[in-house]
Structure 1
Amino acid sequence: MGGGMEPGPGPAEGLLLQEARESVEAARTYGRELRQRLKGLHLARRQIQESAALTRDVLEQHFNDLKGTLRKLLDERLVSLLQEVGAIEQESIRPLDECQKLIEHGVSTADELVREGENAIHGATGENSDKLCSFTKKALHIQLDSLPEVPTLVDVPCLSAQLDDSLLTIVKSEIFKHGTVASRPPVQIEELIEKPGGILVRWCKVDDDFIPQDYRLQYCKSNANHFEDVYVGSETEFIVLHIDPNVDYQFRVCARGDGRQEWSPWSVSQIGRTTLVPHEWAPGFDGYSLSSRRNIALRNDSQSGGVLYSKAPTYYCGQTLTFRIETVGPLDKKDSIGVCVEQQNGCDSLQRDKAVCVSTNGAVFVNGKEMTNQLPAVTSGSAVTFDMEAVNLGPSNNNEGGNFKLRVTISSNNREVVFDWVLDQCCGSLYFGCSFSYPGWKVLVF
């Protein structure tokens, strides 16, 4: 008989083979996950060991510096006290030296007088009585009964040192309380949220006993390793702008305790990045001057008017768009900041169809119609934010005839207006814009 083909696996064998393959794939996935966890454990162990080594170095350096400073201070105090002893000694001995000179002069005079008197007595004769007379007159003139005053021992200084041993007790007590070791910093970065051309950094306190007064946020590019301050204040979040898209940045935060001058240890640094391109104003419009990054527009004194739009429709639903007024100029009822579906270069304001905006006096316009609700007038430093989310994507059943609805929230100076913006077409992204009639207005967008 001729050779035939070998029969393939039966249904049972095929099922077993499939189960075996699934088990192999599950084991492979399981191994990958375990290796990933080993890598995480390695990073955790390295963080503990490296931070412990760094803490040892900091402690040793600090206490060595402290010992050197204390030794220097004690030496300086000793020198000062020794100088004080020397000054008292010199000042006290000076009158004794003067008295000694006076007495020594008197002794010399007395000795000389004794010699003269003895000579006069031994040589006295009847015809030589003039020497005795001269000596007697000289002795009377010297006033041999007048003796200088010599101070008693209780009247002259007796130096001593008063050294209070309580200093050692105080220093000992302060040294025993000096310095603490913490297993983790009192604040940690909680969240990094990407923004167009920026990253929103949120942090929180993790030590219940720590009462923060101020926070300090730093950042740097991951490959630079040179941190710089970007925020100091009491808030627990901050948007770091001027972030290059698709580049890793490191962030860290520390805090200063209430009533203290020194900063706490840094938090564990976190790496964040943004994939969203920054918001930019469109260049080339005569009425506005732009910053180098094109995120700040200044209304200049050019006679050209109209709406300055964004370079591209970079605002998407679900994001927060913020206009911050850096400086203000004269008001005009046509002034506006807001968003729109499309650019209309013939318009002099965003108070038109297919746009929502806020005037500088706080009036809110939707598709060119002014709303009853109003926000506060903008001032220098005011921030106006736009938040939008899609309400429905299907045909609308309302009386306005639209088929796309956005829930819009506009906030300014702790007040907000919420409304539904009905459009006749689906809109995935929006332009933003501004219009100011008079020079002096400067607005930052992020």
Structure 2
Amino acid sequence: MSVEVDVLLQEAKESIEAAQNYRHELQQRLHGLSQARKQVRGSSGQARETLRRHFTELQAAATRLLNERLAALLAEVDAVEADSVRPLDDCQSLIEHGIGQADELLREGEAALRCGLGEKEDKLGSFTKKAMHIQLDSLPEVPALVDVPNVSAQLDDSLLGVFRDRVSRHGAVSSHPPVQIGELQERPGGIMVRWCKVDEDFAAADYRLQYRRSASGGQQYEDAYIGRDSEFLVLHLDPHVDYLFRVCARGEGRTEWSPWSVPQTGDTTLAPHEWRPGSEGYILSSRRNIALRSDSAHSRCPTLFSRAPTYFCGQTLTFKISAVGQLDRRDSLGVCIDTHKGAESLQRDQAVCISTNGAVFVNGKEMTNQLPAVAVGSAVTFDMEVVHPLPISNNNLSDGFKLRVTIGSGNREVVFDWLVDQEVDSLFFGCSFVHSGWKVLVF
């Protein structure tokens, strides 16, 4: 009986635990549903506010433009009226002056006719001379109505139709942005952001990636990338800090950007790659991720190593060349298990590297495969993965470790297995240049 009770008790405990897990999962889904509803409600509210603000601004701008155009047309009417009326006013003044002279002449003539015989001859003579002087047969010319302006306004009624058509197609509402962030992958001191189209009918000409600190409050997003690629490595990020990323797109032949994608949160736990400060013959940038080979008057070729073994298998290590100097066969870029002070090159044991002429060296031996020579703008990449430990010998210890190495440069790459003496957790990276002028960024 006690066994049956124990079984029932165990089954009850398992049922209770299953019910707790079930309730927890349902609560998680309820929270996710709440977040989804919050996104729909919030984005809808933002869309309404955007539409209202935009159309209010359009209405104000349209009213301002129409008023400005009306004022300009009325000014044109005023100018035509003033220019046209001026000669008519001059003609009117001339006619009114003639009428005044004729009235005065009439009064003098009538007075001469009424005067006595003693002064009639003098009065009539004076009147006749004055009449001849006024030239009563000379009349000013008054322009015909067809010769003076008849001001009118020509208005194209089709403007309202065009305006109605454009307004009816102005703006759009979409339930999903045409592009979304698909992956955030941490890198040393940065995050690789990849995105993809979710609207296959949208022909994207350019993408725009922005980011900001997640806990930055009102801080604005800043542009990280604008171009045609669908991925970008955002560098110079602080480790263990959340960042928000968003992306949008611009259609072919369009100037406006699409709506932003749903912001995604990402962070990196990996410290940024840094060159070792204080190394002879090299000048470092403030972030210590850029190294410049300085004066090389002396013949020694010191190798510059990383500050720490920060390269881990499974990552991609990239060297970006931004300036070049004179080539030398000892020049090299690569990774190594340990560092040796005063080493002249990475072309040595326990290291793999590529020379600036494209030769690949494994443990100091040159391979037959060769990559393109390094030039300004070249990006050299190293990818490594653990293949498996080598067979265990009689002393029950592994005789070594094998790493699958892929080195890429230009549009070519070489793949080979690198045997190391011990299990490798992380690696140093380094470079060596005989002559000055070389400048390399690592990330």
TM more than 0.5: yes
TM-fit CA distance, 1:426: 2.4
- Is 1:35 equivalent to 2:27 in the alignment? yes
From 245, 248, 256, the equivalent of 1:251 is 245
- Is 1:336 equivalent to 2:336 in the alignment? no
TM-fit CA distance, 1:345: 2.1
From 154, 162, 166, the equivalent of 2:146 is 154
- Structure 2 counterpart of 1:3: none
Query: 1:323 touches 1:384 (CA, 8 Å); kept in 2?
Result: yes
From 113, 135, 139, the equivalent of 1:121 is 113
From 263, 284, 294, the equivalent of 1:300 is 294
Deviations 1:378-420 (A, max 9, x none): 11221100011122213299xxx97322111111111111112
- Map 1:236-275; keep pairs closer than 5 Å: 236-275=230-269
In terms of mean alpha carbon deviation, does 308-317 or 89-98 score higher?
308-317
From 309, 317, 326, the equivalent of 2:305 is 309
Query: 2:301 touches 2:345 (CA, 8 Å); kept in 1?
Result: no
- Structure 2 counterpart of 1:395: 391
- Structure 2 counterpart of 1:424: 421
Query: 1:249 touches 1:273 (CA, 8 Å); kept in 2?
Result: yes
- Is 1:445 equivalent to 2:439 in the alignment? no
TM-fit CA distance, 1:51: 0.6
Query: 1:329 touches 1:438 (CA, 8 Å); kept in 2?
Result: yes
Deviations 1:238-281 (A, max 9, x none): 11111111111111111122222222211110001111122121
- Structure 1 counterpart of 2:369: 373
Query: 1:307 touches 1:434 (CA, 8 Å); kept in 2?
Result: yes
Provide the rounded CA distance (Å) in 1 between the counterparts of 2:392 and 2:255.
60
Provide the rounded CA distance (Å) in 2 between the counterparts of 1:270 and 1:69.
36
Provide the rounded CA distance (Å) in 1 between the counterparts of 2:283 and 2:344.
17
Query: 2:113 touches 2:120 (CA, 8 Å); kept in 1?
Result: no
**Runs ≥4 residues deviating over 3 A:** 302-305
- Is 1:220 equivalent to 2:217 in the alignment? no
Aligned length: 435
- Structure 1 counterpart of 2:164: 172
- Structure 2 counterpart of 1:138: 130
Query: 1:317 touches 1:428 (CA, 8 Å); kept in 2?
Result: yes
- Structure 1 counterpart of 2:9: 17
- Structure 2 counterpart of 1:230: 224
Provide the rounded CA distance (Å) in 1 between the counterparts of 2:439 and 2:265.
33
Provide the rounded CA distance (Å) in 2 between the counterparts of 1:385 and 1:65.
51
TM-fit CA distance, 1:428: 2.2
TM-fit CA distance, 1:209: 2.2
- Structure 1 counterpart of 2:104: 112
Provide the rounded CA distance (Å) in 1 between the counterparts of 2:381 and 2:324.
17
TM-fit CA distance, 1:13: 2.1
Query: 1:402 touches 1:423 (CA, 8 Å); kept in 2?
Result: no
Query: 2:390 touches 2:402 (CA, 8 Å); kept in 1?
Result: no
In terms of mean alpha carbon deviation, does 252-261 or 407-416 score higher?
252-261
In terms of mean alpha carbon deviation, does 309-318 or 125-134 score higher?
125-134
Provide the rounded CA distance (Å) in 2 between the counterparts of 1:168 and 1:205.
38
- Structure 1 counterpart of 2:38: 46
TM-fit CA distance, 1:305: 3.2
SS at match of 1:262: coil
- Structure 1 counterpart of 2:277: 283
Query: 2:280 touches 2:302 (CA, 8 Å); kept in 1?
Result: no
- Work out the percentage of aligned pairs sharing the same amino acid: 64
Point out where structure 2 has 5 or more consecutive residues left out of the alignment.
Answer: none
Provide the alpha-carbon RMSD of the alignment: 1.7
- Structure 2 counterpart of 1:85: 77
- Structure 1 counterpart of 2:380: 384
Provide the rounded CA distance (Å) in 1 between the counterparts of 2:118 and 2:14.
156
Provide the rounded CA distance (Å) in 2 between the counterparts of 1:137 and 1:175.
78
Query: 1:124 touches 1:131 (CA, 8 Å); kept in 2?
Result: no
